Amino acid sequence: MQAIREILHDFFGSTLREKTQYTRLERPSDSDDDAEAETGTRVESSQRTTFQINGTNTTTISTEAKTIAKNATPVVLSLLLEYSLTTITIITVGNLGTVELGAASLAGFTANATGYAVYYGLTTSLDTLCAQSYGSDMKHLTSVHLQRMALLLTLVTIPLAALWWCAEGILLHIIPERDTAVLAGKYLHIAAWGMPGYAAFEAGRRYIQAQGCYSAGMYVLLICTPISAFLNWFLVWNRGMGFIGAPIALALTDNLIALTFFLHVYFFSLDKCWTGFTKQSFRNWGPMIRLSIPSLLTVEVETLAYGLNTYAASYLGPSILATQTVLSTVSNIFWHIPFAISTSSRIRIGNWIGAGSPNAARLATRVSLYVAVGVGCFGMSILLVFGRYIARVFAKEDDVIEMVLSVLPMCAVCHVVECVATISNGVLCAIGRQDVAGWVQTGAFSVLGLPVGFGIAFGLEWNVSGFWIGTLLALCVVVWIELAFIKRVSWKRCVQDAQQSMSAAEN
């Protein structure tokens, strides 16, 4: 933790002592940026940009903070509404019985790890490509990137759908409880029909967010979430379809969300970049693939890490499993806030890089990390002050509540570190270095987080505390390495690389 504090201190430097108008920052490692005396000065002044604030390429600390916070707000609501879709299904099916609840939970984790997280990770590359294209003069490339991603997701959906259709036979060889495996397999078989809709919505949302419209997804989910709740009730209970009604409702909702989203974008004229279908989308996939694979790796590693901790907790008894489930659920809910800030930040930084304004991108990065620390501390305060009330929302047994409260302080510290890690990942995404985030995250969790956590939980018999010590250790390593990397980034080089990438994308 001391090392992380030192890096944060070195990275932020004397930003808070600067004037409101951010003018010039000099660093020994960024000497090539020193030629720019004013925030946002173009690398090549002969090239025009259309991404401006008040008609100029300058920005301020307060402007960046307000913009990032403003843009993150609808993203938070959108993510929470999307998360509630799974919660609605679990609640509906949970009233059918223990076996049905277990099957829905198993199917949900499998669907997330082998489907939704894949789409989420792959489409993250659009936050880099579309944001940089939109910030430059080459806005038409934004729609080209969307078309390429749509083709990639179509190709990926074919094997994923086949996997879900065969899930029942696979799960029967893995899960000892036959009834649970059969129901989970049937759930995935039906839910697979919603995969195209989910993929289309994720790609479309990233495409529109890159253009500065962050509320479209929120409005669509505000409409579709109540419809999803109605469909679950209508199919599971009113029509007496039982367990099978839940995946049918989910598949219908996924496709309805995609349809509603594109209708919303079309009728409210939110798209400023679409230039029609082009043959360009069939070639030059290299930059997209190079960004998509590390992004996918980053998402999958964290998803599997938390999932494996919960799975391992099942071997320690029902009370330990319940405690880990409560802590993971609370952590997941609170995680949506820094992830929304990360989304807002990476698009903002990407826009500035695309506009050829390295100092503005650097300032946006610093402000984002300040916001990350502030949000993390606020979340930690909420968990510590209202921990007992939060625990009682998810658990009724006194022994589970007491175990949750004993581990919650460590979970709260994890939240602070995870906030910084999430925004750091977003910064690396904005500058096109998803590979750094992917390998750092993979190494931290696979080499340190999971082995140390399992060793402490089982070897030292610290139970749930062991899992969270391992998680905290992994997150600290991620923050330490990523901040050290960001501190040495040449922002002028980032702009030059982005311009070269966009020029190559036109071919």
The pLDDT-based confidence of 150 (bands split at 50, 70, 90) is very high
pLDDT above 70 covers what percent of the chain?
A: 88
Are residue 99 and residue 210 in the same domain, yes or no? yes
Number of domains in the chain: 2
Listed residues 250, 284, 318: the one ending a domain: 284
Residues in CB range of 392: below 8 A, 6 or more apart: 401
H or E stretch covering 205? helix 195-209
Query: What range defines the domain where residue 161 resides?
Result: 85-284
User: pTM to 2 decimals?
Assistant: 0.81
With tokens 């209708």, the residue in question is 263
Residue 434 to residue 420: CA distance in whole angstroms: 16
Q: Which residue has the higher pLDDT, 485 or 6?
A: 485
Residue 249 to residue 246: CA distance in whole angstroms: 5
Looking at beta carbons, which pairs linking 301-308 to residues 24 or more positions away fall under 8 Å? 301/438, 301/441, 301/442, 301/445, 301/446, 302/441, 302/445, 303/112, 303/113, 303/117, 304/113, 305/445, 305/449, 305/450, 305/471, 305/474, 306/331, 306/332, 306/471, 307/109, 307/113, 308/450
Residues in CB range of 279: below 8 A, 6 or more apart: none
- Amino acid letter for position 140: H
| β partners of residue 56 | 53
Is 381 contained in some domain?
yes
- The two tokens of residue 68 are 């990032």
- The two tokens of residue 178 are 């036959």
Helix (H, G, I), strand (E, B) or coil at 5: helix
Are residue 269 and residue 393 in the same domain, yes or no? no
The pLDDT-based confidence of 198 (bands split at 50, 70, 90) is very high
Helix (H, G, I), strand (E, B) or coil at 366: helix
- The two tokens of residue 70 are 């403003």
188 touches 213 (CB < 8 A): no
Residue 204 to residue 192: CA distance in whole angstroms: 19
Are residue 126 and residue 250 in the same domain, yes or no? yes
| β partners of residue 53 | 56
Is 56 contained in some domain?
no
Are residue 377 and residue 451 in the same domain, yes or no? yes
- Neighbouring C-beta atoms of residue 503, cutoff 10 Å: 12
What is the model's pLDDT at position 138? 77
Residue 133 to residue 402: CA distance in whole angstroms: 51
Distance between alpha carbon 502 and the CA centroid of its chain, in Å?
25
Are residue 269 and residue 185 in the same domain, yes or no? yes
Residues in CB range of 275: below 8 A, 6 or more apart: 140, 143
Q: How many Å is the Cα radius of gyration of the chain?
A: 23
Residue 317 to residue 457: CA distance in whole angstroms: 13
Residues belonging to the chain: 507
Helix (H, G, I), strand (E, B) or coil at 60: strand
29 touches 10 (CB < 8 A): no
Closest Cα partner for 274 from 346, 351, 207?
Answer: 207
- Neighbouring C-beta atoms of residue 389, cutoff 10 Å: 8
Listed residues 227, 254, 284: the one ending a domain: 284
Are residue 391 and residue 337 in the same domain, yes or no? yes
- Neighbouring C-beta atoms of residue 305, cutoff 10 Å: 22
Is 64 contained in some domain?
no
The pLDDT-based confidence of 5 (bands split at 50, 70, 90) is low
Residues in CB range of 370: below 8 A, 6 or more apart: 12, 15, 65
Residue 437 to residue 444: CA distance in whole angstroms: 10
Is 66 contained in some domain?
no
Residue 29 reports pLDDT greater than 50: no
Listed residues 241, 261, 284: the one ending a domain: 284
The pLDDT-based confidence of 99 (bands split at 50, 70, 90) is confident
Are residue 402 and residue 261 in the same domain, yes or no? no
Are residue 114 and residue 198 in the same domain, yes or no? yes
Are residue 302 and residue 389 in the same domain, yes or no? yes
Q: Which residue has the higher pLDDT, 12 or 218?
A: 218
Q: Which residue has the higher pLDDT, 162 or 269?
A: 162
Is 468 contained in some domain?
yes
H or E stretch covering 286? helix 286-313
What is the model's pLDDT at position 104? 84
Is 398 contained in some domain?
yes
Residue 173 to residue 318: CA distance in whole angstroms: 23
Residues in CB range of 442: below 8 A, 6 or more apart: 297, 298, 301
Residue 330 reports pLDDT greater than 80: yes
Are residue 108 and residue 11 in the same domain, yes or no? no
Helix (H, G, I), strand (E, B) or coil at 53: strand
The pLDDT-based confidence of 20 (bands split at 50, 70, 90) is very low
Are residue 36 and residue 147 in the same domain, yes or no? no
The pLDDT-based confidence of 33 (bands split at 50, 70, 90) is very low
Are residue 37 and residue 127 in the same domain, yes or no? no
Is 434 contained in some domain?
yes
Is 80 contained in some domain?
no
